Amino acid sequence: MDEHLSLPGARLPSPMEEIGDPRLGGARLFLKRDDLIHPGLPGNKWRKLRDNLAEAARRGEDTLLTFGGAYSGHIRATAAAGRLFGFATIGVIRGEEHLPLNPSLAYAAAQGMRLTYMDRTTYRAKHTPEVIARLRAEHGRFHLIPEGGSNARAVRGCAELPAEIEAQGVAFDVICCAAGTGGTLAGIAAGLPPARRALGFSALKGGEFLAGEVERLRREAFGASSDNYGLECGFHFGGYARRTPELDAFAADFAARHGRVLEPVYVAKMMYGVFALAARGAFAPGTRIVAVVTG
């Protein structure tokens, strides 16, 4: 952890718990409960935002601006971080405004975030100098955090996960995580010791592009990449925030068996994928799998 920026009330390291299930074919499954880190900054949010907040403070920037969809957990978390650490926050939301605000945006607004909206064509170019210059002209000076929080600082934050897990006494073979922008997967893969592997499960339809994002983010953060990770793109269930009766039934059964409710946008899809791969024999008996609960 950055000694100059700590999260009041954080539960770190996040707990580990083993889930026994005969459907795993003899593999052992551990949950890394990042969802319990903090009520306002759960999952991978604190790991990705921490060093971005520290950098904003170092530069003397008192406003955070970031991007997200109408149901973005990253928008919620950035708003909460702003409230906790004294930053003004601006959320640039994809698409048109719809009133009343949905629960995610209502929460962000209640944390003090100023919401502004961007048409989808411009949003696709949000990373370009022209769009960023327009935002600076409209909003003044701000510290820019990309959509999903994924940049080199976020990757370095997530790269601490493997060592944290080992320090908790869990010797693992594979770490699994959901993937939306690629930052968490890039960081976990970068932090792996030798002979370990990371496996990401895309929550997006057509998520094959994330492999390129993982490579880009790893190079930006550490100057190099490797082939110690894989990306599963067949468990999106129709696309981002989409659900099917099959996914809902799996999540309900998991809750009944293990008393754990799976967040549906990312975590349920990842967990379904882990069990589906186990059923195909992808994990040898005795394989120790850590699934990071990021939401």
**CB–CB of 90/108 below 8 Å?**
no
Distance CA 53, CA 46 (A): 10
CA distance 195 to 203: 26
Q: Which of 57, 20, 12, 56 is nearest to 37 (CA)?
A: 12
Backbone angles phi, psi at 2, to 5 degrees: -70, 120
* Cα distances (Å, whole numbers) of residue 24 to 85, 190, 199: 42, 27, 16
Strand, coil or helix: 270: helix
CB neighbour list of residue 252: distance below 8 Å, 6 or more residues apart? none
104 annotated active-site? no
The amino acid at residue 45 is K
Catalytic residue (one of 6, 14, 72, 202): 72
Dihedral in degrees, nearest 10, Cα atoms 247, 257, 188, 244: 0
Strand order in the sheet with 16-19: 16-19, 28-32, 288-292, 174-179, 197-202, 229-232
The set of catalytic residues is: 72
